Amino acid sequence: MIAAAGDALWKNGAVCGKKFTVKCTGPRNGVPHPCTGKSVTVKVVDQCPGCPSTMDLSREAFEIIAKPVAGIINMDYK
């Protein structure tokens, strides 16, 4: 499971290779109840310049924590 870090998280590559546990916390674009209630651990392998969020998850990782139709969600990570 992989992710790309947005500018706010990237910190000049300091998080590249780091793992984060990510969980959906709610909708961001009007899709009701997008969260599955599960969490997933992802490894940051790239930067996502200009991304409006902290992380861009791989499709496989996203589908574990949220419905794919949601597209964009609010999430917590640690």
Average pLDDT over residues 5-24: 96
pLDDT band at 30 (very low <50, low <70, confident <90, very high): confident
* The model's pTM: 0.91
* CATH number assigned to the domain comprising residue 21: 2.40.40.10
Burial class (CB in 10 A: 0-12, 13-18, 19+), 78: exposed
Instruction: Answer whether 11's CB lies under 8 Å from 49's CB.
Output: no
pLDDT for res 29:
87
- Domain carrying residue 35: 1-75
Q: What is the count of structural domains for the chain?
A: 1
pLDDT for res 47:
97
